[in-house]
Amino acid sequence: MKKILALAGSNSSKSINYQLLNYTVSLIHNCEINVLDIRNWIIPIYSVDMDGDKFTPKEINSLMSLAGEFDGFIISTPEHNSGPTAFFKNITDWLSRRSDKVFMDKPVLLMSASPGRRGG
């Protein structure tokens, strides 16, 4: 059985992307799916200075370890100003500086929902 890690790139308590993620997960029956709620993560903004100190937030270390256990990912993130949320971008910045293998050779279903006229 395939194992999938699902997460939403929003830190909003009322995130419609978490709603979309949970709805999508409810439609998939032939995989083991773990929904990771990252809304309460407080991660410092990535900086070159922290990179030089080799500091890594514990949440990023946990996500890198956890990601290795899964065969694929489902990610739902809002669109803010034609890009991902600053919250999710910061997480991907940290991940990309700590490992280039988190998503390597693994399928990703990337979704977006936004109530704005130009979003989603």
Report the number of distinct structural domains present in the chain.
Answer: 1
Confidence check: pLDDT of 119 > 80? no
Distance CA 58, CA 33 (A): 23
Residue 117 domain flag: no
Sign of the four-CA dihedral 107, 31, 63, 67: negative
Residue 74 domain flag: yes
Strands (E), 37-117: 72-76, 79-80, 83-84, 108-111
Domain membership of residue 13 as a residue range: 2-111
Residue 7 domain flag: yes
Q: What are 1-20's pLDDT values in tens digits?
A: 699 999 999 999 999 999 99
Confidence check: pLDDT of 120 > 80? no
Residue 85 domain flag: yes
pTM for the predicted model, two decimal places: 0.89
Residue 63 domain flag: yes
* 8-state DSSP, 99: -
Residue 120 domain flag: no
Closest CA to 54 of 15, 98, 102: 98
Do residues 77 and 109 lie in contact, with contact meaning Cβ atoms separated by under 8 Å?
A: no
We report the CATH number of the domain holding residue 52 as 3.40.50.360
- How many CB atoms sit inside 10 A of residue 77's CB? 26
**φ, ψ at 4 (rounded to 5°):** -125, 135
